[in-house]
Amino acid sequence: MSDRETRHRQAMQKLKSHVDDRVARATEQRGQLLVFTGNGKGKTTAAWGTVTRALGYGYRVGVVQFIKGVWECGERERLAEDPRLEVAIMATGFTWETQNREADTQACRAVWAEAERLLADPGVYLVVLDEITYMLKFGYLDIATVRHALAQRPAEQTVIVTGRNAHRDLLAMADTVTEMQEVRHAFNSGLQARRGIDY
Ligand code: ATP
Ligand code: MG
């Protein structure tokens, strides 16, 4: 064996024992809270990817979309065929289109009621609260209500929260926080959002 191969083999063995140690230490099993935040693209995409993953094993999944009600969404179209997926959508669309705080608040509360129902259902393995961070920012929902529902949820249930500027209480509660960092976005060079890619 060449020196290079020996060194590579030793490095791999060291890496393997390091990974094995860490796997051995991860013994707790329960549902988790994941937050996908930051300004870069990919938060909602990652949430739908996880939805697909859970549905792939036959688990029941609930997705609650705050804000984007009137938007097309390819994953929703495709996965809606699965009877194990439930989707609730806040129907008013973007707030700067409706410009009606009262109506927005009501729409938010109505869809939040769906979220609360899902968060109380032990049969639901994964719940996605897509873009809920803005509801907290705009004051349509209060953080104490959301914190309470998350804290009381069934132990086996995983929740994914997406959206920019996640409330610090959500970050503090989360088991996993991923911040999507924008390095560049096509939109800023004048490229239009693309069907089947961006939505
Ligand atoms: P995606 O839905 O593609 O995973 P996202 O959830 O991370 O993106 P949002 O802030 O929810 O991002 O933005 C929703 C829409 O805006 C999507 O069509 C997305 O492609 C686009 N978008 C995401 N990031 C940016 C950005 N930095 N600049 C401009 N448009 C963006
Ligand atoms: Mg998003």
CATH fold for domain 30-189: Rossmann fold (3.40.50)
Residue type, 176: T
Cα–Cα distances in Å, from 28 out to 25, 92, 162? 9, 41, 24
Percentage with pLDDT > 70 across the chain: 94
pLDDT of residue 139: 94
156 assigned to active site? no
The stretch 127-151 carries a mean pLDDT of 97
For ligand 1, atom 27, name the residue with the nearest CA. 40
Percentage with pLDDT > 90 across the chain: 79
pLDDT of residue 36: 98
User: Who surrounds ion ligand 2 at CB < 5 A?
Assistant: 43-44
Q: Hey, how many other C-beta atoms are within 10 angstroms of the C-beta on 115?
A: 23
End-to-end CA distance of the chain: 52
Q: Which two tokens stand for residue 74?
A: 């390819």
The stretch 129-149 carries a mean pLDDT of 96
Q: Hey, how many other C-beta atoms are within 10 angstroms of the C-beta on 29?
A: 7
* Contact of 74 with 151, CB cutoff 8 Å: no
131 assigned to active site? yes
53 assigned to active site? yes
pLDDT of residue 155: 98
Q: What is the largest CA-CA distance in the chain?
A: 74
User: Per residue in 18-37, pLDDT tens?
Assistant: 899 888 888 889 999 999 99
Residue 54, C-beta contacts closer than 8 angstroms, at least 6 positions apart: 61, 125, 126, 158
For ligand 1, atom 25, name the residue with the nearest CA. 41
Q: Which two tokens stand for residue 95?
A: 């707030």
CA distance 149 to 120: 8
User: Per residue in 69-101, pLDDT tens?
Assistant: 567 899 999 999 999 999 999 976 555 555 688
pLDDT of residue 196: 97
CA distance 78 to 109: 27
Ligand 1 within 6 A of 180 CB? yes
The Å distance, Cα 42 to ligand 1 centre, comes to 7
